[in-house]
Amino acid sequence: MLLDQESRYRPSDPYLPETVTTKKSLIPARKRYEATSHFPMPRSASSAFLTALSQPIIRPAFLVQAGFASGPVYLWTGRGSLTWNGQTWLGTGSQGIISTIEEGSTVEAKGITLSLSGIDPSLLTGILTEFQLGLPCFVYFALFDGTPALIPDPIPAFAGRMDQPTIDVDGSGCTITIAVESRLMDMNVSAARRYTQEDQQRDHPNDQAFNFVPALQEVSVLYWGRLPSSRNNA
């Protein structure tokens, strides 16, 4: 899989990590939240992007957009600030971790985890206040050229919703880990809808069809088509 492919970085690149690992860095940033209702699929890559992938040395990075109560945070796995898609993405160094992004040939909900370590315990209250279950998280896969400049455009790598965080406190600080569940998890949630007039009014206020449903419960035999007394059914 592309995201697990090992590659080499050039240590002279000022914006990129010097070593490759399967775990990527994250730190939070504060931005105004703009709701995103869909994820850009399929993964259409530009010709420049595909060319860069075929080179013996590639310079990959990941961009993460995570939703919080006051707005999304924009992060990327290099150093310094990066401008893309009208947003400033903050470089994160080694303060955080993204677990490996997995895909398979079967329809299966595979999530990821985001971890941030070395947090001052006095900041926990504010961080947990900002967190809300179910807000979206998007991960993009990006490539850089030798300048290094961002090769247009990063492609979607993962989309999901953030689940309950866990906190681990030790002598050096605390670590927050947030599970991000695939949107395929929604397939396991039953629809809380009913075949009733009240439920139907939610979508179609002028529809009266379900007013007749209770009366059908009193019908002992319901024939579809010709009556049994007709000539062809005798």
Q: What is the pLDDT of residue 184?
A: 76
Please name which of 23, 31, 33 lies closest in space to residue 81, comparing C-alpha atoms.
31
For residue 195, count CB atoms less than 10 angstroms from its CB and return exposed for 0-12, middle for 13-18, buried for 19 or more: exposed
pTM for the full model? Answer: 0.64
Helix, strand, or coil here: 215?
A: helix
Give the list of residues 6+ apart from residue 13 with CB closer than 8 angstroms, or none: 59, 144, 146, 148
Higher pLDDT, 231 or 216: 216
Edge-to-edge strand order for the sheet containing 81-84? 81-84, 87-91, 73-76, 59-66, 136-144, 155-170, 173-182, 112-119, 96-98
Give the pLDDT band of residue 174 (cuts 50, 70, 90).
Answer: confident
Give the pLDDT band of residue 142 (cuts 50, 70, 90).
Answer: very high
Residue 62: pLDDT above 80?
yes
Please tell me the least confidently modeled range out of 24-28, 110-114, 165-169: 24-28
Q: Whole-angstrom Cα distance, residue 108 to residue 167? A: 27
Write out pLDDT tens, residues 72-104. 999 888 888 999 999 999 887 777 788 988 877
Write out pLDDT tens, residues 8-21. 333 334 344 433 33
Work out the average pLDDT over 59-77.
90
Please tell me the least confidently modeled range out of 8-22, 95-109, 118-132, 205-219: 8-22
